[in-house]
Amino acid sequence: MKKYALVTGGSRGIGKAVCVKLAEDGYYVIVNYKSNKTEAENTLSVIKNNGGNGELLKFDVGNPDDVNQNLGNWMEQNPDKHLEVLINNAGIIRDNLMVFMPDEDWNSVISTNLHSFFYVTKLLLQNMLIKKNGRIVNIVSLSGQKGQPGQVNYAASKGALIAATKSLAMEIGKKKVRVNAVAPGFIKTDMIEHMPEEELKKIIPLNRFGTVEEVAEAVSFLASEKSSYITGEVISVNGGLYS
Ligand code: NDP
């Protein structure tokens, strides 16, 4: 039987690598994106060129109406397709010292990185619970584990997502639905292209930034039966920067 997975923010970076990896693992992948259709189409091409399959689904994860309309419609139109894996990956940064941070940058980061978890997961959760078949992986961050100056908004969103991961895991373990998180350190994507790699890598024990594929491996593990006794856990993929 076909297995279905939804990856939010699948058009670029870590989300793209996760889409490609889950397709290799045998999932039909729903590739969500916000605005970058060309990049999303590219993700789908890579999936198909590797012999996998999937489709695009555009919605803004931080907008409940958009989530309910687009993802809700997809679910109504595909009642036979059980989304058994959800990867909450879409995220943004709006870095600034808190004293200078506009309200808009606080709100947009909390909406996109945290509220999105509630909107998207809630829609899929009921079916996972009824079918007793579901794995949820939230992409959090090193910042949410240890804090980071200039990222009060981002660290708050990811720290809260870690707490939500642990709490939801406790709520639904009996229903055989697992919830875990992956906490990347510095991973080479558009999100951190402005950061000074040569300088920063000196403080990383493995002495380099990570790749999107290295994060996707951890996500794939948590989405698979190989991690069947792991829930409420945070796996760091950070080159030894923090544990
Ligand atoms: P990128 O900026 O490279 O890609 C972000 C992705 O999220 C894009 O696909 C983008 O879609 C999508 N996205 C952004 N906002 C929304 C939205 N409102 N609705 C739907 N999709 C959206 O980010 P990364 O790959 O670097 O980051 C992925 C995740 O990993 C994030 O949660 C981030 O916080 C986390 N992370 C990243 C680290 C890193 O070093 N890169 C470190 C720690 C955590 P579109 O193309 O349409 O804009």
Determine, yes or no, domain membership for 107.
yes
Contact 64, 116 (CB under 8 A): no
Q: How many beta carbons lie within 10 A of that of residue 64, not counting itself?
A: 17
d(CA 239, CA 205): 6
- The alpha carbon of 160 and the centre of ligand 1 are apart by a number of angstroms equal to 17
Tokens of 81: 């397709």
Count: domains in the chain: 1
Q: How many beta carbons lie within 10 A of that of residue 25, not counting itself?
A: 18
pLDDT band at 90 (very low <50, low <70, confident <90, very high): very high
pLDDT band at 57 (very low <50, low <70, confident <90, very high): very high
Residue 1, pLDDT > 90, answer no
Name every residue whose Cβ is closer than 8 Å to that of residue 49 and which is 6 or more positions away in sequence: none
Determine, yes or no, domain membership for 92.
yes
Question: CB of 9 closer than 6 A to ligand 1?
Answer: yes
Determine, yes or no, domain membership for 16.
yes
Determine, yes or no, domain membership for 102.
yes
What are the pLDDT digits (tens) for 117-133?
A: 999 999 999 999 999 99
Residue 205's domain comprises: 3-237
- The alpha carbon of 198 and the centre of ligand 1 are apart by a number of angstroms equal to 23
Determine, yes or no, domain membership for 201.
yes
The atom of ligand 1 lying closest to the CA of 34 is 47
Determine, yes or no, domain membership for 243.
no
- For the segment 74-79, the average pLDDT, to the nearest whole number, is 98
d(CA 140, CA 166): 12
Determine, yes or no, domain membership for 77.
yes
Tokens of 74: 């997809």
Nearest protein Cα to ligand 1, atom 32: 91
Which position has the token pair 């804090």? Answer: 147
The atom of ligand 1 lying closest to the CA of 61 is 19
Question: CB of 11 closer than 6 A to ligand 1?
Answer: yes
Residue type, 3: K
Determine, yes or no, domain membership for 242.
no
Question: CB of 139 closer than 6 A to ligand 1?
Answer: yes
Question: CB of 14 closer than 6 A to ligand 1?
Answer: yes
Q: What is the mean pLDDT of the chain?
A: 98
Question: CB of 157 closer than 6 A to ligand 1?
Answer: no
What are the pLDDT digits (tens) for 158-167?
A: 999 999 999 9
What proportion of the chain, given as a percentage, has pLDDT over 70? 100
Tokens of 67: 């989530």
What are the pLDDT digits (tens) for 22-53?
A: 999 999 999 999 999 999 999 999 999 999 99
pLDDT band at 180 (very low <50, low <70, confident <90, very high): very high
Nearest protein Cα to ligand 1, atom 8: 9
Q: Which CATH number do you get for residue 117?
A: 3.40.50.720
- For the segment 223-228, the average pLDDT, to the nearest whole number, is 98
pLDDT value at position 11? 98
Q: Is 154 a catalytic residue?
A: yes
